[in-house]
Amino acid sequence: MKKFIPVTLTALLLLFSCTKKEKTEENFTFQTETFADLKIIRYQVPDFDKLSLQQQKLVYYLSEAGYAGRDIIWDQNYRHNLSIRRALEHIIKNFDGDKSTEDWKNLRTYTKRVWFSNGIHHHYSMDKFKPEFSAEYLSELMVSTGTSLNKEALRALFDPNFDAKKVNLDPAKGLVLGSAVNFYDPDINEAEVDAYFASIRNKDTEKPISYGLNSKLIRGENGLEEKVYKLNGMYGEAIAQIIPWLEKAVSVAENKAQADALKLLIDYYKTGDLKTWDAYNVAWVNATEGDIDYINSFIEVYNDPKGYTGSFESLVEITDFEASAQMEVLSDNAQWFEDHSSIKEEHKKKNIKGVTFKVISVASESGDASPSTPIGVNLPNANWIRTQHGSKSISIGNIIYAYEQAGGKGMLNEFCHDTEEMERAKAHSKLAGKLHTALHEVLGHASGQINPGVGTMKETLKSYASTLEEGRADLVALYFILDEKLIELGLMESLETGKAEYDGYIRNGLMTQMRRLEPGADIEESHMRNRQWVAAWAYEKGQENQVITKVVKEGKTYFEIKDYTKLREIFGELLSEVQRIKSEGDYEACKALVEGYGVKVDQELHMEVLARAEKLNIAPYGGFINPKMVPTTNESGEITSIKMTYPEDFTEQMLDYAERYSFLPDYN
């Protein structure tokens, strides 16, 4: 699961800043450009040069394995993405005509938006981009550069109603038929998907495999069948490039446990066997020693409207041991938090195992993690593995720091209710946000248990599973961030930090996140939905006692928390109900919660938020240019050193990736 930012307060702030003046270059330019609703940021990798050559090789090999699979996410996101991307790239590289026109500038911007989102649909809203240039202009460019696209790909570009939504979560429109993602043949419907997976599911096991995680469901000669992602299967051309880099990584692994896990991952890529995937995850979660770790394969299921198939992603991590040791207190006290949670006793885990938390610097990202990246991750996702073997949680320190350095100014001035709220935010919100991420990942996703005999969330809660799980983890964080225990553990100095998080969460959930929506749009993205349904439910529940009040001053709307203690009780009450829904697999209650509070927005307030945010000129989304590792080799071809460099141009990196890591055919 992803999160889309004795220790004293000073030490904790130092923890997340990673003593930046010592570990990062001075005068480093973080934000490089903005276009559309996006800003492009660079990040640094502190202490890479302090790793041994063997460790640097491990980072390099794992990174190359991730980049080798880059094409996969494009094809998963939409069947025409690769052909469209390559056509646009060919035009960008080869057009030698007039580049001063608005049409050319608009085509360049469109191409950069496509690069950013790994396809022609927005990475967050899931809506298809509208080209600000004509089909006739594109046709002229294609003729002049010798570029071609088939008729359906051209229709996908210019017909606003054709495959308009990457992921559709409105059941009335058909979750599968209404989604453009390439996890199902275009004519397969939701009922067929449900029937297929029901027919193959083993209900008599406490260790269910992750059905559909690494396959596309297609219509074969004898009915529906899975086209498996593996060496000699779907995406085999890219997987054939991933495996050799993983084999090189095995040769320089830091320890046997790390090497053994990598060998299982290689076996999984070769066979596509989901039991091997589970064995790999058990080995990976228990490989906790060493400075280097990674995430690689088909993992998160947010892009599948049915929650089965995992999107390809890769992250390569270097542990910040000083920061991680300081935050280890959360992992060490996980059972205390579980025992003192507001959820029912029968839903609590009696023995939380293996919850590890690390602050890391990411060295490379690929697939679904790039250019738009999480700031925290908790894996593996299989509930039985988490229960029996534990999980790994990370907070990506150098990404959080880069976001902060590239952050816009003015949002607090515009949306805080009064000076007290603003000053509290300035003094405490950075620490509050980082604590929230840690609590969300370390405790939230590890908390609670599903009742015996109840299926997995994707089976019971279906399209609402992801938003319910993210909201549940948020509620764990919200419930405990106002607990004196965090002061006792030295994680914060006062409850003002928790109050700052409450202010920010309500402000964002009820107002500021709406600046990411087009006028009239519903909320589709799972994390946005969960932030709204948590905030809106709490706001409604507290109306009787005016726990949160809506205030209008000089034509501007604000939300003011009047009673933080009572709000914590409300969060605890909602947490208990949400855990019950998950534990019992109560689909109808889940649907009522999400549809009732998390989908529709107040259109009048939405227009107000858009108008207030527009004048601030702050791009609502950010993504990253990856560093580039440049190896030096001797006459025998052996790597003798590796230099970490920091490219500055987003377009150059995208074209470089297209040249070096394009292994799949246009259609798969």
609 and 654, same domain (yes or no): no
Q: How many CA atoms lie within 13 A of 277 on its CB side?
A: 24
pTM of the model as a whole = 0.84
Residue 435: which of 476, 469, 406 has the closest Cα?
Answer: 476
19 and 158, same domain (yes or no): no
Say which residue the tokens 């402000």 belong to. Answer: 507
Tokens of 565: 């203690």
CB-CB neighbours of 428 under 10 Å: 24
* Residue 337 belongs to some domain of the structure: yes
CA distances from 398 to 5, 8, 85, 303, 318 (A): 11, 21, 30, 26, 10
Q: Check the CA dihedral 107-112-118-120 and report its sign.
A: negative
Contacts 24+ apart (CB under 8 A), 196-204: 196/224, 197/308, 201/459, 203/455
Euclidean distance between CA atoms 600 and 499, whole angstroms? 27
537 and 641, same domain (yes or no): no
Beta strands in 397-523, from DSSP E residues, in sequence order: none
Range of the structural domain that residue 33 is part of: 2-38+291-623
Tokens of 319: 């542990």
Residue 123: which of 609, 575, 475, 622 has the closest Cα?
Answer: 622
pLDDT-flagged residues of the chain (< 50): 4-23
| Distance linking the first and last C-alpha atoms of the chain | 27
* Residue 436 belongs to some domain of the structure: yes
Beta strands in 25-133, from DSSP E residues, in sequence order: 31-35, 38-42
Q: Check the CA dihedral 191-81-69-649 and report its sign.
A: negative
pLDDT at 458: 84
438 and 512, same domain (yes or no): yes
Residue 519, judged by CB atoms within 10 A of its CB (0-12, 13-18, 19+), counts as: exposed
Q: Is 363 helix (H, G, I), strand (E, B) or coil?
A: strand
164 and 303, same domain (yes or no): no
Q: Is 103 helix (H, G, I), strand (E, B) or coil?
A: helix
33 and 132, same domain (yes or no): no
Residues 6+ apart with CB under 8 A from 325: none
Euclidean distance between CA atoms 645 and 632, whole angstroms? 13
Interhelix angle 419-438/397-405, rounded to 10 degrees, is 160
* Residue 224 belongs to some domain of the structure: no
596 and 636, same domain (yes or no): no
Residue 391 in contact with residue 355, Cβ under 8 Å?
A: yes
* Residue 220 belongs to some domain of the structure: no
Residue 561, strand partner residues: 548
542 and 650, same domain (yes or no): no
* Residue 335 belongs to some domain of the structure: yes
Peptide bond into 208 cis (omega under 30): no
Residue 381: which of 316, 476, 457, 475 has the closest Cα?
Answer: 457
* Residue 14 belongs to some domain of the structure: yes
529 and 415, same domain (yes or no): yes
* Residue 242 belongs to some domain of the structure: no
Euclidean distance between CA atoms 479 and 498, whole angstroms? 9
517 and 546, same domain (yes or no): yes
Structure-derived torsion over alpha carbons of residues 260, 261, 266, 271, reported in degrees to the nearest 10: 100
Residue 488: which of 323, 322, 330 has the closest Cα?
Answer: 330
Residues 6+ apart with CB under 8 A from 365: 66, 313, 314, 315, 316, 371, 373, 624, 626
Residue 629 in contact with residue 63, Cβ under 8 Å?
A: yes
Euclidean distance between CA atoms 351 and 333, whole angstroms? 12
640 and 580, same domain (yes or no): no
Instruction: Please count the structural domains in the chain.
Output: 2
Tokens of 95: 């057009």
* Residue 190 belongs to some domain of the structure: no
pLDDT at 406: 84
332 and 417, same domain (yes or no): yes
pLDDT at 325: 76
Euclidean distance between CA atoms 536 and 508, whole angstroms? 11
Q: How many CA atoms lie within 13 A of 164 on its CB side?
A: 8
Residue 54: which of 302, 251, 205, 273 has the closest Cα?
Answer: 251
* Segment (H or E) for 415: helix 411-415
